[in-house]
Chain A
């Protein structure tokens, strides 16, 4: 059972380059989210989706785009990478059980922008 799969695991970009971080889940969860993790700041929500075709912004959306064409996939696009986007990125999928949303996380993508 794969759960949430993120690719790549590591990436180095030059300032101004674009790239897409991939995220796929095989649990048929409606909700998917992208977070970035920075030291001392916990996880901050970038974008989220409540279902195919529906996305919305989180706490720190600037510089990132998302789309959700299928239930399984939720890619995160960096349009023009900046050093401030150096971080570890986590994708999560969620379902509601008794009102509580339990999140399942991928292993993360460590991105360095030079």
Chain B
């Protein structure tokens, strides 16, 4: 069975500081991994996805994530936080050729001025 663990339900950073949101996954097959962002009262939007083509994946809004098989991790980073990055972020996993996406519990990012 697949699962996703997001470490930290809340993360707070200052504007301009590094953003690091942690995600570990469990999968019996090579996974497809995703990060989604949810702004208040909206649905989820795809930030980036890992499809095995490259271990470092670049997404929208300056975010990127690195797939580390040995650590079963897919942490999301952004070098410099902006106030507009404040939102909830979800890591997700899907099996090979799958459509049943399993989501983590989410990490709410706060950005302080």
Residues of A at the B interface (CB closer than 8 Å) are 4, 31, 33, 35, 40-45, 48, 50, 58-59, 90, 92, 94, 96, 98-103, 105-108
Contact = CB atoms under 8 A, between A and B. Distances in A.
A42 B43 contact: no
Contacts of A42: 4, 6, 90, 103-106
Given A42-B106, A90-B43, A105-B44, A100 B32 contact: yes
B92 to A, nearest CB: 8
B100 A45 contact: yes
Given A99-B51, A101-B32, A31 B99 contact: yes
Nearest to A108: B43
A74 to B, nearest CB: 13
Q: How large is the interface on B (under 10, 10 to 19, 20 to 34, 35 or more residues)?
A: 20 to 34
Nearest to A107: B43
Given A33-B99, A40-B9, A42-B90, 11 more contacts: A33-B101, A40-B105, A42-B103, A90-B43, A98-B53, A100-B94, A101-B32, A102-B49, A103-B34, A105-B44, A108-B42
A101 B4 CA distance: 16
B43 A101 contact: no
Interface in B31-63: 32, 34, 36, 41-46, 49-53
Contacts of A45: 100-102
A35 B36 CA distance: 14
Contacts of B101: 33, 45, 92, 94, 101, 103
A99 B32 contact: yes
A100 B103 CA distance: 15
A96 B99 contact: yes
Contacts of A40: 9, 105-106
A103 B100 contact: no
Contact of B99 (A41, A48, A108): A48
B68 to A, nearest CB: 18
